[in-house]
């Protein structure tokens, strides 16, 4: 908030740092194909026209940079991100095999560490909520959360109680309820009630956990392959054109990227943090926090923002900002650092963090920083890049 | 134009509510009011100002703002009671208020809060006599859709509710018999603890139901085929024959291109309207609003995500025209065509005349109230 499109557009017409203003156009791209305004309406619309001219200038500049920005995002963040996630799930499967073959506290600890590494890798890349991860319910199969009614928990407990043999096979598991086959289910297996029996050799529980790890590894492999495919989603995204079924122009392609930040910050603040952090301590609901059993709540939150920071840097999105607004990129990076520092000061099991006023305050501050980031991307940077800020379209109704 | 409002807790919101409506703008002279009321067309819509403030506005036929009412948070749709001359603007989901106001200023605005355990979905409708107001609501702890019933002649006291027989109801319509309410159960489960997060996309099951408003009895319930279970039915209007046209939003992969517009005729299965791939593709799997022009025999559907809208001939389901317009969403019948409004602040009326109020951007819906 607090940005004024009219002032911004006047700045564009009369740039502070020299340079020539764009020649005023008679109609903006968004009015393409429609009749000219009637002359009597022109006078009252001059201010609106100034905005249109500004958008015309910045979107044209953006269109030429769109392919680079999207290409950078794919090669510099998304492909490496899914690669890292796949590596982590591979390690998780290995650790699971070792635990099942040689049950001990050492192999259990190693499996738990591998779970943590998988959560870290996922938290960075899960901000990508479009493309192959939306196919075949992959997003929910990796992480079904929030499980508000505890459906997944009940299903996991039932499988453990009944020793359902079909749940110990990764291929069959992939066809079961999404809540039974991802990180939430595995967290219960490794950290939930009865998990300590894994160190002493709970064969069924271990094979179910191993099947989940195998399922995650298979999904991770699919994601990595899909993004690497020369004729896949990456190609579609990086090559907008009038005939492209998903991205008709560079602006639409960059908007998809911008929405990662806009929806990502909203998800972190309203869903992940807001799901358990009350307005006051008495309203906190620690057991509504993601990964509370494994103590990875704050790591996951920090991982989401670390992923967004890495994506911002890798894509060089801020380079497309007009020179007099290039400070917005630095402002975002500054806020990402603030968020990382706040998260670093709120480490530990989430119930302990919430019980410690100092740590809890850091978490609340993390939420404020996320709001600020939401404003930087959703209002300031979107506006400066001439992207429609999506008042109606973003996560509409 | 922050599209993500600051997170407002219920407690804070209640404080806001006391102030809501208090700043009802009444800058027009009595003569101007009279002139306004004499105008042959009036529209109502929710908006956001460029400084982030929310409200609802009454617009003239020429798209000029005649009256505004401030809102404590983002609004969504408006419904109108011609008997009392009052409009009701609902909070956008998961909002907890609606504001009833008389744009002629005869009665002060009334702000009504949702009851404990419920929030609004942004849509509602009056009974033909204006006595009762029906609103789609979320019984969020049970993930059950509800219609809340309010006594419009008694300060909008909530006097009852009945189930929508589905999850995540969105728009509802009163059909021509004055008794049957059509409800679009979008199928998406949400809970205010988790903002607007969609909690059940892999298992969602939208439906279209007809309910008798007098007793809540279920008259008909229709679902789409299982392979279309992620096609959320959300917005509707009735054409000149009484058929209900509905617009959908696809929650599955963007690479899928299901039909997004359909027709519901009483006693028959739902029917989806085929469109040319180029037209369908332009909607980006998202229809934001549906409006019929019963005099012209047309139906318009808008797509703010696809930055385009289409006009369909109701009798033949043929697409008559497609227009590109950035963030177009609000749509209402106007003469032989439609008025459309956009999230960038444009208002376009038939004959391609276009207006902009520099300080306002328009929310998803615009309603013809006169």
Residues A217 and A79 in one domain: yes
| Number of structural domains chain A divides into | 3
The percent of residues in chain B predicted with pLDDT above 70, rounded, is: 89
ipTM over 0.90: no
φ/ψ of residue A177, rounded to 5: -50, 135
Q: What is the pLDDT of residues B105-144, one digit of tens each?
A: 888 999 999 999 999 999 999 999 999 999 999 999 999 9
Residue A146 corresponds to which tokens in the numbers above?
């929030």
Compute the C-alpha angle B301/B304/B306, nearest 5°.
90
Gap between the Cα atoms of B78 and A303, Å rounded: 41
**Structural domain range at position A312:** 249-384
> Would you tell me the crossing angle of helices A357-375 and A297-315 to the nearest 10 degrees?
30
Domain boundary among A213, A238, A263: A238
Which site among B195, B232, B355 would you substitute to test the A interface, given the most A Cβ atoms closer than 10 Å to its Cβ? B195
Q: Which of A101-105, A184-188, B24-28, B238-242 has the lowest mean pLDDT?
A: B24-28
Q: Which superfamily does CATH assign the domain made up of B10-368 to?
A: YVTN repeat-like/Quinoprotein amine dehydrogenase (2.130.10.10)
Residues A80 and A210 in one domain: yes
Q: Distance from A34 to chain B by nearest Cα, in Å? A: 7
Mean pLDDT for A220-237 is 97
Q: What is the pLDDT of residues A36-84, one digit of tens each?
A: 333 333 222 223 333 333 344 455 567 668 999 999 999 999 999 999 9
Does B63 lie at the interface with A, CB-CB under 8 angstroms?
no
- A370 domain-assigned: yes
- A56 domain-assigned: no
Gap between the Cα atoms of B224 and B40, Å rounded: 40
Which site among A255, A392, A395 would you substitute to test the B interface, given the most B Cβ atoms closer than 10 Å to its Cβ? A392
- Secondary structure of chain B in HEC code, one letter for each residue: CCCCCCCCCHHHHHHHHHHCCCCCCCCCCHHHHHHHHHCCCEEEEEEEECCCCEEEEEEECCCCEEEEEEECCCEEEEEEECCCCEEEEEECCCCCEEEEEECCCCCCCEEEECCCCEEEEEEEEECCCCCEEEEEEEECCCCEEEEEEEECCCCCEEEEEEECCCCCEEEEEECCCCCEEEEEECCCCCCHHHCCCCCCCCCCCCEEEEEECCCCCEEEEEECCHHHCCEEEEEEEECCCCCEEEEEEECCCCCCCCCCEEEECCCCCCEECCCCHHHHHCCCCECCEEEEECCCCEEEEEECCCCEEEEEECCCCEEEEEEECCCEEEEEEECCEEEEEECCCEEEECCCEEEECCCEEEEEEEEECC
Residues A256 and A140 in one domain: no
**Predicted local distance difference test score (pLDDT) of residue B14:** 37
Domain boundary among A238, A258, A275: A238
CATH number at residue A87: 1.20.1420.20
pLDDT above 70 (res A191): yes
**Predicted local distance difference test score (pLDDT) of residue A323:** 92
Q: Which residues contact B32 (CB under 8 A, 6 or more apart)?
A: none
Does B250 lie at the interface with A, CB-CB under 8 angstroms?
no
Q: For the whole model, what pTM was predicted?
A: 0.86
Q: What is the pLDDT of residues B308-335, one digit of tens each?
A: 999 999 999 999 999 999 899 999 999 9
Residues A229 and A288 in one domain: no
Q: Strand B132-139 to strand B144-151: parallel, antiparallel, or no bridges (unpaired)?
A: antiparallel
pLDDT of chain B, 370 residues: tens digit per residue: 233 223 233 333 334 334 344 344 444 455 555 455 545 458 999 999 988 899 999 998 888 888 899 999 999 999 999 999 999 999 999 999 999 999 888 889 999 999 999 999 999 999 999 999 999 999 999 999 999 999 999 999 999 999 999 999 999 999 999 999 999 999 999 999 998 899 999 999 999 999 999 999 999 999 999 999 999 999 999 999 999 999 999 999 999 999 999 999 999 999 999 999 999 999 999 999 999 999 999 999 999 999 999 999 999 999 999 999 989 999 999 999 999 999 989 999 987 677 777 789 999 999 999 8
- A191 domain-assigned: yes
Q: What is the pLDDT of residues B34-52, one digit of tens each?
A: 455 545 458 999 999 988 8
Does B51 lie at the interface with A, CB-CB under 8 angstroms?
yes
**Predicted local distance difference test score (pLDDT) of residue A86:** 98
**Predicted local distance difference test score (pLDDT) of residue B5:** 29
**Predicted local distance difference test score (pLDDT) of residue B104:** 83
Nearest partner of A216 among A74, A96, A73, judged by Cα: A96
- Secondary structure of A38-73 in HEC code, one letter for each residue: CHHHHHHHHHHHHHHHHHHHHHHHHHHHHHHHHHHH
Residues in B touching A262 (Cβ below 8 Å): 3-4
Residues A25 and A128 in one domain: no
Nearest partner of B340 among B43, B40, B36, judged by Cα: B43
Ordered by start, the domain boundaries in chain B are: 10-368
- A209 domain-assigned: yes
Q: What is the DSSP letter of A208?
A: H
Residues A85 and A177 in one domain: yes
């Amino acid at each position: 908030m607090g940005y004024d499109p009219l002032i911004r557009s006047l700045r564009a017409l009369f740039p502070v740092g020299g340079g020539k203003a764009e020649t005023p156009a008679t109609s903006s791209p968004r009015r393409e194909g429609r009749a000219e305004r009637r002359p009597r309406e022109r006078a009252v619309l001059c201010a609106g026209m100034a905005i249109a001219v500004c958008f015309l200038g910045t979107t044209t500049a953006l269109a030429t940079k769109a392919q680079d920005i999207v290409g950078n995002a794919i090669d510099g963040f998304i492909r490496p991100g899914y690669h890292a996630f796949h590596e982590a799930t591979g390690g998780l499967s290995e650790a699971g095999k070792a635990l099942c073959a040689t049950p001990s506290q050492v192999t259990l600890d190693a499996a738990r560490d591998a779970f943590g590494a998988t959560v870290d890798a996922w938290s960075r890349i899960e901000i990508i909520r479009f493309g192959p991860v939306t196919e075949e319910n992959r997003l929910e199969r990796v992480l079904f959360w929030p499980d508000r009614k505890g459906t997944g928990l009940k299903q996991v407990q039932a499988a453990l109680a009944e020793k359902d043999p079909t749940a110990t096979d990764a291929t069959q598991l992939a066809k079961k309820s999404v809540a039974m086959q991802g990180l939430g289910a595995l967290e219960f297996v490794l950290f939930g009630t009865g998990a300590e029996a894994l160190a002493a050799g709970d064969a069924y529980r271990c094979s179910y956990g191993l099947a989940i790890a195998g399922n995650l590894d298979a999904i991770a492999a699919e994601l990595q392959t899909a993004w690497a495919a020369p004729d896949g989603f990456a190609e579609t995204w990086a090559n907008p054109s009038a005939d492209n079924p998903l991205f008709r122009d560079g602006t639409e392609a960059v908007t998809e990227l911008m929405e990662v930040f806009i929806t990502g910050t909203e998800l972190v603040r309203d869903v992940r943090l807001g799901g358990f952090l009350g307005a006051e301590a008495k309203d906190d609901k620690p057991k509504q926090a993601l990964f509370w059993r494994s103590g990875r709540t704050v790591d996951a939150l920090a991982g989401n923002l670390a992923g967004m920071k890495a994506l911002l840097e890798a894509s060089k999105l801020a380079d497309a900002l007009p020179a007099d607004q290039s400070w917005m990129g630095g402002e975002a990076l500054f806020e990402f650092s603030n968020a990382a520092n706040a998260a670093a000061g709120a480490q530990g099991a989430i119930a302990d963090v919430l019980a410690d006023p100092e740590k809890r305050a850091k978490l609340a501050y993390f939420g404020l920083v996320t709001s600020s980031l939401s404003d930087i991307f959703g209002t300031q940077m979107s506006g400066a890049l001439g992207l429609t800020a999506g008042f109606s379209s973003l996560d509409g109704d | 134009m922050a599209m993500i409002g600051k997170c407002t807790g219920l407690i804070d919101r209640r404080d806001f509510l006391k102030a809501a409506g208090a700043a009802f703008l009444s800058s027009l002279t009595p003569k101007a009011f009279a002139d306004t009321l004499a105008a042959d067309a009036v529209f109502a819509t929710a908006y956001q100002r460029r400084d982030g403030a929310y409200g609802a506005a009454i617009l003239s036929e020429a798209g000029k703002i005649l009256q505004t009412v401030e809102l404590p948070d983002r609004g969504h749709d408006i419904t109108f009671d011609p008997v009392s001359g009052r409009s009701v603007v609902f909070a956008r989901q998961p909002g907890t208020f609606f504001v009833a106001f008389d744009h002629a200023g005869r009665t002060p605005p009334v702000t009504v809060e949702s009851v404990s355990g419920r929030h609004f979905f942004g849509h509602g409708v009056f009974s033909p006599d204006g006595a009762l107001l029906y609103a789609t609501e979320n019984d969020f702890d049970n993930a059950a859709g509800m219609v809340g019933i309010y006594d419009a002649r008694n300060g909008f006291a909530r006097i009852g509710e009945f189930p929508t027989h589905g999850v995540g109801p969105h728009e509802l319509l009163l059909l021509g018999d004055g008794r049957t309410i059509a409800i679009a159960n979008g199928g998406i489960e949400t809970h205010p603890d988790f903002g607007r997060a969609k909690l059940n996309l892999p298992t969602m099951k939208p439906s279209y139901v007809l309910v008798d408003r007098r007793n809540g009895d279920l008259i008909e319930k229709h679902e789409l085929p299982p392979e279309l279970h992620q096609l959320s039915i959300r917005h509707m209007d009735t054409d000149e024959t009484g058929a209900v046209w509905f617009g959908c939003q696809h929650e599955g992969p963007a690479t899928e291109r299901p039909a997004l517009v359909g027709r519901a005729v009483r006693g028959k299965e739902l029917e989806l309207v085929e469109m040319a791939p180029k037209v369908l593709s332009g909607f980006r799997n998202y229809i934001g609003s549906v409006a019929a022009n019963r005099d012209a025999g047309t139906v318009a559907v808008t797509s703010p995500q696809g930055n385009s809208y289409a006009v369909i001939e109701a009798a033949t389901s043929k697409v008559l025209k497609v227009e590109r317009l950035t963030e177009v969403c609000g749509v209402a019948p106007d003469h032989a065509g439609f008025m459309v409004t956009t999230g960038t602040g444009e208002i376009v009326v038939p004959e391609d005349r276009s207006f902009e109020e520099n300080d306002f951007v328009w929310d998803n819906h615009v309603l013809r109230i006169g």
